Amino acid sequence: MAIFTTPAGSKQETDLLPPTNIVGAYIPDTPAPTAETVEPTEPAVRYPLTDAERDVVERVVMAEAGGESFEGQMLVAQCILNAAEKRGVEPSEAVALYSYTKSRPDPTQRVKDAVAAVFDRGETVVDEPILYFYNPALVTSDFHESQIFVIEEGGHRFFAERSTR
């Protein structure tokens, strides 16, 4: 059913479309089709972890930053991820190559969430490719301080690698 205006100005209802040589308002009485609703998709996992790899990363983050803020925990996870990607190795290998603590306490849910934010959802605290960190209250490190300082969070200082070119 359609309603259209005739050349004389009156409105008429018809099952037929109005003639094409008449200028007037054509108002269909059925709603226009709506665009398909596209369901949002989950973002791709940045770095898929096996259960064993996830356990190692969570335990290392717990040992290194369990008492720090959520952002501090994410920063440590981000260092591990960046090191694994840079070297083309699994996170547990990066942990060994970059001399992370050997302590492996049980992780809290907050640490698990920080690791998931970085590895699963690709979230970062900083855009720089941080690789190194240390706690100056516990040790001194000329090596770390010779790198590019990026951020200090809690008791840790985080660094990107200084190019040797």
pTM (two decimals): 0.73
| Local confidence band at 165 (pLDDT 50, 70, 90 cut-offs) | low
Q: What are phi and psi of 137, to 5 degrees?
A: -75, -20
pLDDT tens digits, 120-158? 999 999 999 999 999 999 999 999 999 999 999 999 999
Best CA proximity match to 156, nearest among 68, 60, 53, 40? 68
Helix (H), strand (E), coil (C) string for 125-164: CCCCCEEEEECCCCCCCHHHHCCEEEEEECCEEEEECCCC
Greater confidence (156 vs 13) lies with: 156
List strand residue ranges (DSSP E) for 33-153, in order: 130-134, 148-153
Query: What was the pLDDT predicted at 46?
Result: 87
pLDDT at 54 over 80: yes
Residue 80, classified by CB atoms within 10 Å of its CB into exposed (0-12), middle (13-18) or buried (19+), is: buried
| Local confidence band at 43 (pLDDT 50, 70, 90 cut-offs) | low
pLDDT tens digits, 63-109? 999 999 999 999 999 999 999 999 999 999 999 999 998 999 999 99
Query: What was the pLDDT predicted at 63?
Result: 96
